[in-house]
Structure 1
Amino acid sequence: MSDAAALVRTLTDRHETVACAESLTGGLVCARLTSVPGASAVVRGGVVSYATDVKADVLGVDAGLLAAGGAVQAQVALQMAVGVRSLLGATWGLATTGVAGPDPQDGYAVGTVFVAAASDDGAQHAALTLDGDREHIRASTVQAVLDLLGARLRS
């Protein structure tokens, strides 16, 4: 499990930065990172792209992809991560998209989540199937995207 403080330390030591594109987490990833003293040295900012059109208009997610399959797709998470990285000029872009509930969305069950991390070396995603209530799904998503970043930083 990746700890936000350890991630901030590692990014600081490497002189790297991070930006967050969040849908179902609504800013919780950025909040977790910025709760760490010294995070201002590495956190560039975030975009809460809760609405599907914001994913396309602000983050550059392909509108055709969104129209064809909705916002809950691995490719959407990947494009969100790449888009926020570019938009905010960060070394790393993180993204979250999925269904926190209480109802299914775009034919996807509650707990269907995709997270992604992007850098110069490319982008990687993780598909999650989470159980629990809305808050548990959101908290688990935050941890999953931080874990993905941690894994990428260690590789």
Structure 2
Amino acid sequence: MTVAELLDRAKALNVMIATAESCTGGMVAAALTDIPGSSAVVDRGFVTYSNAAKQDMLGVRADTLAAHGAVSEEVAREMAEGALAHSQAQLAVSITGIAGPGGSEFKPEGRVCFGLAVTGRPTLTETVEFGAAGRANVRRAARDHALKLLENGLSEVA
């Protein structure tokens, strides 16, 4: 499904979308809003690069960050749920990861955690290991994966 088709489907279902992004820095929101007419279904995008932004804008809890780190499914869950809570959307995707360069033995470059929140449904989370493909490649792959998650989320709404 193309991004335009995703937006058309959201519009047909009367679903608003929000994004909560860290390592992609707004690339998902940009992909959505590149399409004319996207304002009918894109409510807002949160770029929460720092932990403080995740807490202030999305309500991610300090104890979650302390216990699991920013790159975790727990934080991705709270980001997605926070995007729903702080918007008019019924569908939200979140991304937090290590695009590179860098990483560690425990959280390697290319590890990205995602959350998908749909009003009235349990929030889904997952971790994808894109590998040390380089910063730009990891960010693009994470953007594309998030768009696929939004597509899947629309099936949950229908």
8 Å contact 2:92–2:150 — kept in the other structure? no
Matches within 5 A, 1:87-126: 87-104=86-103, 107-120=106-119, 121-126=121-126
| Structure 2 counterpart of 1:11 | 10
Query: Please, what is the CA RMSD of the aligned residues?
Result: 1.4
Which has the higher mean CA deviation after the structures are superposed, 122-131 or 100-109? 100-109
In structure 2, C-alpha distance between the alignment counterparts of 1:20 and 1:105, rounded to whole Å? 27
- TM-score, with normalisation over the residues of structure 1? 0.94
Identical aligned pairs, as a percentage?
35
| Structure 2 counterpart of 1:35 | 34
In structure 1, C-alpha distance between the alignment counterparts of 2:142 and 2:105, rounded to whole Å? 19
In structure 1, C-alpha distance between the alignment counterparts of 2:146 and 2:60, rounded to whole Å? 19
Q: Which runs of 5+ in 2 are unaligned?
A: none
The ranges of structure 1 where at least 4 consecutive aligned residues each deviate by more than 2 angstroms after the TM superposition are none
Superposed displacement of residue 126, structure 1: 2.1
1:118 is paired with a residue whose SS is strand
Q: Which runs of 5+ in 1 are unaligned?
A: none
Superposed displacement of residue 80, structure 1: 0.3
1:94 is paired with a residue whose SS is strand
Does residue 138 (structure 1) correspond to residue 139 (structure 2)? The answer is: yes
Q: Which amino acid aligns with 1:89?
A: Q
Count of aligned residue pairs for this structure pair: 154
**CA distance change for structure 1 residues 45 and 106 in 2, over 3 Å: closer, same or farther?**
farther
In structure 1, C-alpha distance between the alignment counterparts of 2:104 and 2:92, rounded to whole Å? 25
Which has the higher mean CA deviation after the structures are superposed, 77-86 or 102-111? 102-111
- TM-score, with normalisation over the residues of structure 2? 0.92
- Deviations 1:7-54 (CA, angstroms, capped at 9, x unpaired): 100100011100111000000000000011110000011110000111
